[in-house]
A = this chain, B = another copy of it.
Amino acid sequence: MQELNQQLDFIIELDRLKGVYRQALVKSDKNRFENSAEHSWHITLTAHILHEYAAEKVNISRVMCMLLIHDIVEIDAGDMFAFSDQKALAYQQDKEIVAAERLFGLLPEKQFQTFNQLWLEFEEAQTVDARFAKAIDSILPLLQNMRNEGGSWVRHKVNKSQVMKRNRFLEGLAPDLWLYVCQQIDYAVEQGWLVDA
């Protein structure tokens, strides 16, 4: 039963992701901050619903697994706002690699390898599956901010060019979604939710 105990320890450790809070607000729950566990659920389902828009075939099961686990490292490393400065983001990346080793390392060796490699694939964004997963991870905060009068963009004075850059994965991957995102960004600038720069 040793392997089962390792797996159950990992499953219980996952509970801590429910206490890691992000910049996005939950409009439906009195605009409190969103945590990374509920965010992970939301984007995994979003990927499932939208995967038909991918220009190249994605393996949706793999994409879903990537999105379920992509934020687990935040249990140790904390969440960092996507539009933080480059130095802070690079330091965050180092912390996340150590966190992945410790957290996925709670699992039996074979599952550790599977999860750690899947997480690294997501981070490196070199495969179609990983790039699609990353694209979905960017489009959902955009949808949330659009329904929340700019949400975290307004609070952090985010520029149009930053959001364009962050969603650029979509351009080749899912042209219909990219078109939609561009229209939304233009509207957000008109409304003063994004800085026109």
Contact = CB atoms under 8 A, between A and B. Distances in A.
Contact of A1 (B8, B60, B144, B180): B180
Interface SS of A by simple majority: helix
- Count of this chain's copies in the oligomeric assembly: 2
A10 B49 contact: yes
A124 interface: no
B12 A49 contact: no
Nearest to A176: B4
Contacts of A41: 17, 37-38, 40-41, 44, 68
Interface stretch (A24-32, A82-90, A125-133, A160-168): A24-32
Nearest to A67: B41
Sorting the interface of chain A by its residue count into under 10, 10 to 19, 20 to 34 or 35 or more gives 35 or more
A171 B14 CA distance: 26
A11 B111 contact: no
A34 interface: yes
A1 B53 CA distance: 11
5 contacts: A1-B180, A11-B140, A18-B26, A38-B38, A64-B68
Q: Would you list the 3 A-B pairs with minimal beta carbon distance, nearest first?
A: A19-B29, A41-B41, A37-B38
Interface of A: 1, 4, 7-8, 10-12, 14-19, 26-30, 34-35, 37-38, 40-42, 44-46, 48-50, 53, 60-61, 64-65, 68-69, 107, 111, 140, 143-144, 147, 176-177, 180
